[in-house]
Structure 1
Amino acid sequence: MTDVLLSAQNISRRFRGLTALDQVSLSLARGTVHAVIGTNGAGKSTLVSVLAGELAPNEGSIFLHRQEVTSWSQPRRARAGLGRSYQRSTIFPSLTVHENCRLAAQAGHQAFWNWAAPASRCRYSNEAADQAISLVGLEPDVLQLAGLLSHGRKRQLEIAMSLATRPSVLLLDEPLAGMGPEETERMLDLLASLKAEHAVLLIEHDMDAVFKVADEITVMVNGKVIAHGQPQAIRDNPDVQTAYLGDGE
């Protein structure tokens, strides 16, 4: 039986007269990278924000670990196992790689009863940070200031910060944006390694990368899902070729 960790059913989101999401349904299973593709304005980032709890849907339901979380706030969903990254960098540039990850871990494990102890000595947060840094391959940069990292390493750090909260679901919004070929390959290897223990939602414009790493693809146009399936089926879908990939793709 498929281990579905996050699902959305008939999600709609409107901004005054604009319907950004129109009856969108999808599910994310452990062991898969589920890519969502579409042109600018298709509703991809709005979908991520609704799934993460930053925006409330006007209609529909969201389930995390089979529990309905539609009314839950973003922090509550994060504590329940939902991690995400953003299109723009959200790191602390003046702190080290380890400090960035430790702070992220602390956000999900707040020991109010131990307020007098230095946060830097929190065993849980340090162990979670070390594990996340190891998973993304940033050990050589553990004491480097985050602001001095290359663009690709900063994107890896953002994922490490998400992993430091020990999520089961990762929502990644354009993690490959601005990367060169070598950095892209490194990131794709990372995504492939993460899916064994996570359900991964990937928003991405790089079609070569999407078809290389995705197990499932959902295609959106004007807030609606027009196709869903395995990569080859999406390549061969005439509606997708016309609406997104281009005729003859």
Structure 2
Amino acid sequence: MSALLSVDALTRRFGGLVAVNAVSIDLHRGEIHAVIGTNGAGKSTLINMLSGEIAASSGRVALDGVDITTRAQSRRARDGVGRSYQRTTIFPEFSVHENCRLSAQAATARPWAVWQASGSCAASNAAAGEALAAAGLEADAGRIAGTLSHGAKRQLEVAMCLATKPRVLLLDEPLAGMGAEETERMLALLTRLKKTHAILLVEHDMDAVFRIADRITVMVNGTVIATGDPAAIRNNADVRTAYLGEGH
């Protein structure tokens, strides 16, 4: 099966610092591929390059066989690359539905669309409704986003990604700050979404990663030291020494 998102020798330098060093990853449809590593390993920089937020110093990114390495973040979003961030990025004073509608409008080829009246954007309203239903937030559509629980806000961020009609989801620590029940809801959501999307997941919750990931890539100091299924990563001596610890 060909990769939906193919990353080849992607590198990012900040002056003399190599934050990401020749990383190669293939992300397939119907898969959750987790990237793990300690703080400073280069995980968020990698996602920022994949989404187009920052440019790669060298290497190649291809989406469904098409080179998108030099495309801007807005173009990649239209091409089907959606992402969430470590920190909550919702509009707290707007309704849950309005948050999703604005995301849907912003992802169109018309950058001024976000300034149109909501009633004139039937397609964006429909996309927002579908995204909220997929994320399990349909009942909260009219609620002010800032009043949601932390876990529901993170679900809303995923819904905002879905409203842009992505094929690939880049999720940066979606479980951060969650309690046990909220974590279970998010894991159930991601399990549903992988049936229709390719998901790249950066996450520090190792128990969750080993439960949900189909494949795991381990980064240390900007370099990939191992990629494999959860069992292979758990039993990899280099990973155990560098990151997981002998007792994991």
TM-score range, shorter chain: over 0.9
Aligned partner of 1:241 in structure 2 is 240
Displacement after TM superposition at 1:114 (Å) = 8.8
1:225 aligns with 2:216: no
Distance 1:114 1:152 in 2: 29
Separation of aligned partners in 1, 2:245 and 2:114: 57
Number of the residue aligned with 1:42: 41
Change over 3 Å in CA distance of 1:16–1:112 after alignment to 2 = closer
| Map of 1:186 onto structure 2 | 185
Which position in structure 2 is the counterpart of 1:122? 121
Show structure 2 runs of 5+ residues with no match.
none
Letter in 1 for 2:7: A
Partner of 1:23: 22
SS at match of 1:4: coil
Whether the 8 Å CA contact 2:105–2:113 is kept in 1: the answer is: no
TM-score with structure 1 setting the length: 0.96
Aligned twin of 2:171: 172
Task: Give 1:92-131 correspondences, 5 Å limit.
Answer: 92-109=91-108, 118-131=117-130
Which 10-residue stretch deviates more, 59-68 or 108-117?
A: 108-117
* Amino acid corresponding to residue 54 of structure 2 in structure 1: L
TM-score when normalising by structure 2: 0.96
Cα shift at 1:115: 10
Question: Are 1:109 and 1:125, in contact at CA under 8 Å, matched by a contact in 2?
Answer: no
**1:247 and 1:105, CA in 2 relative to 1: closer, same or farther beyond 3 A?**
same
CA contact (8 A) 2:20 2:223 kept: yes
CA deviations 1:86-144 (Å, max 9, x no partner) are 00011000000000000000112255899996333311101100000000100121111
Offset, 1:3: 4.2
Counterpart-to-counterpart distance in 2, 1:205 and 1:114: 36
- State the 4+ residue runs in structure 1 displaced beyond 3 angstroms: 110-117
Q: CA shift at 1:217, angstroms?
A: 0.2
What residue identity is the alignment partner of 2:194?
Answer: K
> Residue 247 and residue 112 in structure 1: after superposition, are their counterparts in 2 closer, same or farther (change >3 A)?
closer
* C-alpha distance after superposition, 1:174-202 (max 9, x if no partner): 00000000000000000000011100000
Secondary structure at the residue paired with 2:4?
strand
Counterpart in 2 of 1:214?
213
Q: In 1, distance between residues paired with 2:188 and 2:247?
A: 29
Q: Percent identity?
A: 60
Between the aligned partners of 2:90 and 2:114, the Cα distance in structure 1 is: 25
